[in-house]
Amino acid sequence: MIEFEFEFQYAKAKLPILRQVGGGIPLGRCVVLCGGSGCGKSTLLRCINGLIPQFYEGELKGFCRLNGQDTAGLRIGEIGELAASVFQDPRSQFFTVNSSNEVAFSLENHGLPQDEIRRRVDEAFRIFHLERLKDRNVYALSSGERQLISILSAWAMDTDIFLLDEPTANLDFAATQQLKEILLALKTQGKTLLLSEHRLYYLADITDEFGVMADGEIKGKYTGKGVLGGAETDTFSAHARPCGDHRAGERAAAENRADGLAVSDVRYTYGRKAGDIMALPDGFDTVIARAARPSPAASASAFPSPGPS
């Protein structure tokens, strides 16, 4: 379970980005934070996974408990053992260049026996039917395939909570659909999922509750069933992007664009500069649970604070 209440203002910012945002997400539920850029949804995830205050400076008030354990005073790696984090660009959290070694990395970092590591790595690729991604160069994979490797690395570590910050930001439609299938499988296994997203069309039939954020607060709360063709569709669409299948719309938009610049076979490599952070320190890895549990029955809102629903 995720329990939290936060206020946060970034250093040198004039106003708080989070204003008494609180909630509780039971084990096995999927909650999606949505809203415009700068509304505070990514900041809320950073408060939960410990990047705030350990990597982002500012004034933080409040608390977070992950499965009953208070995260105050825990190191990034210790929080990572309680809750997985997957970011927009998974390359920011890769530690190796080989996909199988990447899935094994956190297991080795925690001192598991080699036989157990091999078993978990093989099982991760097998369970999700991704054997084709074994022993591949992670930097030769597509953005969608890299996200899948991040999820496998997380799954192998066997914890309960999974945090995703705009995981489809760099994915095309096909990769987004594949990610959807993986998220469905995780939820079926009883994982707790908390996402921040702009793209919502792939999440309507996965999500138990949408929380619409604006001005650092939860302004609206909507059930997944209510949004998916239900009574809440119109009011939800007034606050967030609709949840319909966007494939046809994306294709039509591309076909109607005027001719402009066409580029092909272009490659560019950024040079490394002194001080570049190639990976987060202190074992900040992606870890999620593996034990299968039934999804809980519908319950009260994850966001009990007042707001329209």
10 Å CB burial of residue 224 (0-12, 13-18, 19+) is buried
Question: How many other C-beta atoms are found inside a 10 Å radius of the C-beta of residue 137?
Answer: 9
Answer for the pair 220, 239: CB distance below 8 angstroms, yes or no. yes
If one compares 141 and 240, the residue with the highest pLDDT of the two is: 141
DSSP state of 138: G
Give 253's pLDDT tier (boundaries 50, 70, 90): very low
The predicted-structure confidence for 4-55, as pLDDT tens digits, reads as follows 999 999 999 999 999 989 999 999 999 999 998 899 999 999 999 999 999 9
The predicted-structure confidence for 94-111, as pLDDT tens digits, reads as follows 889 999 999 999 899 888
Q: Which of 82-91, 220-229, 260-269 has the highest mean pLDDT?
A: 82-91
The pLDDT of 164-184, averaged and rounded, is 91
pTM of the prediction? 0.75
The predicted-structure confidence for 133-166, as pLDDT tens digits, reads as follows 999 999 999 989 999 999 899 889 888 999 999 9
If one compares 249 and 22, the residue with the highest pLDDT of the two is: 22
The pLDDT of 178-207, averaged and rounded, is 92
Q: What is the dihedral of CA 122, 127, 132, 135, to 10 degrees?
A: -30
Q: Which residues contact 251 (CB under 8 A, 6 or more apart)?
A: none
Give 283's pLDDT tier (boundaries 50, 70, 90): very low
Name all domains of the chain by residue range, CATH numbers in brackets.
Answer: 2-241 (3.40.50.300)
* pLDDT on residue 201: 86
If one compares 301 and 157, the residue with the highest pLDDT of the two is: 157
Residue 188 has pLDDT above 90, yes or no: yes
If one compares 87 and 242, the residue with the highest pLDDT of the two is: 87
Give 128's pLDDT tier (boundaries 50, 70, 90): very high
The pLDDT of 277-299, averaged and rounded, is 36
The pLDDT of 299-303, averaged and rounded, is 70
Residue 241 has pLDDT above 70, yes or no: no
For residues 266-300, b (16+ Cβ closer than 10 Å) or e, as one string?
eeeeeeeeeeeeeebeebbbbbbbbeeeebeeeee
* pLDDT on residue 262: 53
